[in-house]
Amino acid sequence: MKNIFLVSLLLCAHSFVLGQHVKNVDSVKTKIYIIGVVHSENKFRNSDSLLNILKDIKPHLILSETDTLSGYFKSDYLLVEPPKWYKIARKLKLGRKMPPEMDLLYKYRELNSSVLIYPFDMLIENRKQYVKNIQYKENLWVTSLNLASNKNELPDSIVSTHKNYIGFNNWFYDICQTGYFLINRRVATDSIRQMMKLENEYFPKLFNSVQHLSEYKKWYTDDDAFWKLRNDVMAKNIIRFADTYNAKTVVVFTGLLHKYILTDLLNSYNTEQKYELMEYFEK
């Protein structure tokens, strides 16, 4: 656009056309699409569904919720080549599959070799074990909380809050069984934000009200601090990659629980109004 305008100026010499405006390329806001995912597939959620989204958006940059220690990316951030056995297994629909949002990266790169693909998560040593540890601790917590509720150990003052918390969690489980359209609606993101707000207010009350649940206080405090740090790193990495490569259209694939907080953080960092957060399923 700049070059065309420059040529027209040289040809016209002293002429000037009123009302002709040329938008500076640098003034165009970077469009960022955050697509919340569940790290497993079902008949509603799979890499083909995500592939259709990318075909429509045609991003310059794709960011994946993982890091260079995950095995999917090299230390220089380049996507590794999948092993031959995986390519054969994928064609024959055999064997354990990658998470759909990872499988997608290879599929889309075959269609568009020029697209930039990078990991944007915080570095996490031994990610698989980290996830297992989280799941183990959360399962212990849920079991203990359910036991306390079944034994009527919760004080009357928080029983209604507990019901709201259970209601939110049941809703979240149900919506995670659906497709990308439903889990990415703005109303779903807002509901998850409310669910997490309720959790952050409710759990400290539990620790103070039920003695044997207080043993989880340190775990929760440490986990919450790490969660906030991780999301902050993720949000800043999104901005860093977008700025470094001057990408005008960015697609971010991240776990559904991250979407609301990344949205909030990116909005708070967008003081110069350089970025425009887009809701793909709301257009």
Q: What would the pLDDT profile of 3-28 be if each residue is shown by its tens digit?
A: 333 333 223 333 323 333 444 445 68
What per-residue confidence (pLDDT) applies to 94?
Answer: 66
What per-residue confidence (pLDDT) applies to 85?
Answer: 64
What per-residue confidence (pLDDT) applies to 3?
Answer: 39
Residues 23, 241: contact at Cβ < 8 Å?
no
pLDDT digits (tens, 9 = 90+) for 120-137: 999 999 888 999 999 999
Residues 198, 165: contact at Cβ < 8 Å?
yes
What per-residue confidence (pLDDT) applies to 71?
Answer: 86
Q: Which residues of the chain have pLDDT under 50?
A: 1-25
Closest to 176 measured CA to CA, from 61, 168, 215: 168
The alpha carbon of residue 111 and the mean position of all alpha carbons in its chain are separated, in whole angstroms, by 23
SS3 30: strand
The alpha carbon of residue 215 and the mean position of all alpha carbons in its chain are separated, in whole angstroms, by 31
Beta bridge mates, 52: none
Residue 275: both structure tokens together: 């970025």
SS3 63: strand
What per-residue confidence (pLDDT) applies to 26?
Answer: 57
What per-residue confidence (pLDDT) applies to 81?
Answer: 85
Closest to 72 measured CA to CA, from 24, 117, 129: 117
The alpha carbon of residue 200 and the mean position of all alpha carbons in its chain are separated, in whole angstroms, by 20
What ranges make up the beta strands (E) of 83-225? 116-119
What per-residue confidence (pLDDT) applies to 118?
Answer: 97
What per-residue confidence (pLDDT) applies to 220?
Answer: 96
